[in-house]
Structure 1
Amino acid sequence: MHRGTQVITRADDCGSNHSANLGILRALEGGVLRNVSVMATCLAVQEAAGMFAEREDICFGLHFVLNAEWDQVKWGPVADPATVPSLIGADGFFRQHPREFMEHPPQLAEVMLELEAQFNRLTELGFRISYVDTHMMSDWVIPGLEDELRAWCNARGLVYWGDYLFPDLTLGDGDNSGDLVAEHIEQMEAFDPGFYLLVTHPAVDSEEMRALGNAFESGLQIADNREQDSLFWANPRLADEYKRVGVQPIRYDEAGRLSRR
């Protein structure tokens, strides 16, 4: 790899539960994680605000939520459910997967009302939101949502993540028995210089995390994978290796300026 490569380093699902908050707190100790995406819809978001909101070393994003993917753990809208009926199922929660929007198309006006409500909750809790990304990439499924999000972000001086869809990096292959830092650096060294995106879901392994799960991933797998994400970022070798190979971790609020050089 040639020097001059930038990577948007991102942790998702902050505020989703206590274990995610703890995992992200640990991940930040490594000094490489720059962006944290926050879920406004979950009970642990207030705890997350107390832990992170005043930190200026983090670029915070609204992790815009329209789905609740787990079988047993659910969440619903921040807006009054009566004002966003097309976004929720009969149980009063968000639908489990974006593919359900094909059978139950949401009203775009209600989507944007919920976006505003989630943004307002985070700002009221003290988060300085700089970008918006989407949980389970609902903007790729709901017709017109990408354009609406882009316009909404532009009007508020925020970054819409879809404008910086740099090639995705992967962390491991589901087998956490190896050295994730060494594997990641080997991957980076094989790539051409440029801009990249690495999205992870740090958490600590706990009964709370093991209570998650669905038909695609068991709670045990989720807890283990997210524990490894947290340990990866916290590993002090990662910062040293980034310096050695000339990789710069960047924030979303730096991406536009850097990508136009």
Structure 2
Amino acid sequence: MKHQLLLTWFCVIAATSVASVQAEHKETGEKRYLIIHADDAGMSHSVNQATIEGMQKGIVSSASIMVPCPWFKEFADYAKQNPDQDFGIHLTLNSEWKNYRWGPVASRDQVPSLLDEEHYLWDNVGQVMQHVNVKDAEKELRAQIERAKKFGVPLSHLDTHMGAVISRPDLLEMYVNLGIEYQLPVLFVANLDPKKYGLIAEKAKELKEVLEKNGLPVLDELVQFYGEPDYGKRKQAYLDELRTLKPGVTQIIIHCGIDNQELQNITHSSSRRDGDRRVFTDLEVMKEIKDLGIEVITWKQFHEMAKQKVAVTE
């Protein structure tokens, strides 16, 4: 995956023991909430199977769907049949794999700035930033949301594939406005370093207040781990991160997959995706989360928490 924006690349080795972490948070009364979120549902059959496994047999609490992708319908059918689970739209403005590409949901003649020379969506976020007209982007993202609704997906939130929708201030504002219009939370982080994110950080500070006034929640932390394909090392990195989880609401982004021929033909990340599936269906990991006193929640629950907060202040 390339050009990831507003995501933490990390592999922290925690020195704090489970017992001391539990004691610290028990003493302070600080609550730690965690959304375990699987990106890229709808991308392929193997990704769909793995994401469903993570939600049914594991501790994956939320997933988001790539509407333009060829396997969208399969996952949309699953979502429609399981309305109690948590599903968002992985708003997509780019198509990054070499031989496995997709175009827009909207008619191509309606969104010309979204298309590369082969009439697929642009390959990467840098190209989106350079070429995409915000009006074309809004048409496409509305088309993705409406298509998901037409297929009966019970929507809980919106987020962004590879950060493309939050790569420019005008795109970020359009994304937030869509969330407010549809009354769906958007993936959004409370505080961004202005030295690192510049104009994006300035716009985000302004839009954070807008979201909160509209009863839409804002994450305290967002983390993601690419790192080591070796399963044992990958599992340990996740456990170390869980043991140092900060108070508030954190989303950890994962990518579930099955390391089979289909996924190998699409992406070099098939083994890492398979590792994420295995980690978050691992009984030891699930027990560790429970023992640490971390409450795993959905975007639906997070939204309700935000609405209750607004009601209290009014």
Cα deviation, residue 7, structure 1: 0.8
1:223 aligns with one of 270, 276, 296: 270
Q: Residues 18-33 of structure 1 correspond to what in structure 2 (within 5 A)?
A: 18-33=45-60
Confirm or deny that 1:210 pairs with 2:257: no
C-alpha contact 1:7 1:248 (8 A) present in aligned 2: yes
Task: Tell me how far apart the structure 1 counterparts of residues 290 and 95 of structure 2 sit (CA, whole Å).
Answer: 38
Corresponding residue for residue 247 of structure 2: 193
Is the counterpart of residue 47 in structure 1 residue 101 in structure 2?
no
What residue number does 2:3 align with? none
Once residues 74 and 246 of structure 2 are traced to their aligned partners in structure 1, the CA distance between those partners, rounded to angstroms, is 40
Return the match for 1:159 from 174, 185, 194: 185
Report the TM-score, using the length of structure 1 for normalisation: 0.89
Whether contact under 8 Å (1:24, 1:230) holds in the other structure is: yes
Q: Deviations 1:129-164 (Å, cap 9, x if unpaired)?
A: 121101111123233111111112112211111253
**Who is 1:82 aligned against?**
109
Whether the 8 Å CA contact 2:37–2:253 is kept in 1: the answer is: yes
Partner of 1:38: 65
Match of 2:157 in 1: 131
Cross-structure match for 1:17: 44
Report the Cα offset of residue 236 of structure 1: 2.5
| Superposed displacement of residue 76, structure 1 | 0.6
Matching residue's letter, 1:47? E
For residue 102 of structure 1, report the CA deviation from its aligned partner.
4.0
Query: Closer, same or farther in 2 for the Cα pair 1:89/1:171, shift >3 Å?
Result: closer
CA contact (8 A) 1:101 1:142 kept: no
Count of paired positions: 253
Which has the higher mean CA deviation after the structures are superposed, 133-142 or 164-173?
Answer: 164-173
| Closer, same or farther: CA 166–30 of 1 in aligned 2, 3 Å | farther
The whole-number CA distance in structure 1 between the counterparts of 2:180 and 2:130 is 31
Give percent identity, aligned residues only. 24
C-alpha distance in 1 between matches for 2:39 and 2:129: 25
1:143 aligns with 2:169: yes
Cα-to-partner distance string for 1:29-50 (whole Å, 9 max, x where unaligned): 3342111100110111111122
| TM superposition shift of 1:184 | 2.5
Match of 2:88 among 18, 40, 61: 61
Mapped contact 1:27–1:232 kept (Cα < 8 A): no
Check the 8 A contact 2:41/2:51 in 1, yes or no: yes
**Structure 1 residues 172 and 53: CA distance shift in structure 2, 3 A:** same
Following the alignment from structure 1 to structure 2, what is the Cα–Cα distance between the partners of residues 160 and 86? 24
Which of 289, 297, 300 is equivalent to 1:242? 289
Provide the rounded CA distance (Å) in 2 between the counterparts of 1:248 and 1:180. 22
Task: Quote the Cα distance in structure 2 between the aligned partners of 1:203 and 1:177.
Answer: 13
Q: Which has the higher helix share?
A: 2
Aligned partners of 1:94 and 1:149: how far apart in 2? 18
Which protein has greater RCO, CA pairs closer than 8 Å, 6+ apart?
Answer: 1
Structure 2 residues not aligned, in runs of 5+: 1-20, 190-217
Contact 2:256–2:276 (Cα < 8 Å) also in 1: yes
**Do the aligned partners of residues 102 and 15 (structure 1) sit closer, same or farther apart at CA in structure 2, a change above 3 Å counting?**
closer
2:227 corresponds to which residue? 173
* Residue pair 1:16, 1:42 contacting (<8 A) in 2 also: yes
Letter in 2 for 1:26: E
CA distance in 1, matches of 2:176, 2:94: 20
Larger radius of gyration: 2
Q: How far 1:17 moved relative to its partner?
A: 0.7
The offset of 1:192, in angstroms, is 3.4
Q: 1:120 aligns with which of 126, 143, 146?
A: 146
Partner SS state of residue 9, structure 1:
strand
The 5 A counterparts of 1:83-102 are 83-102=110-129
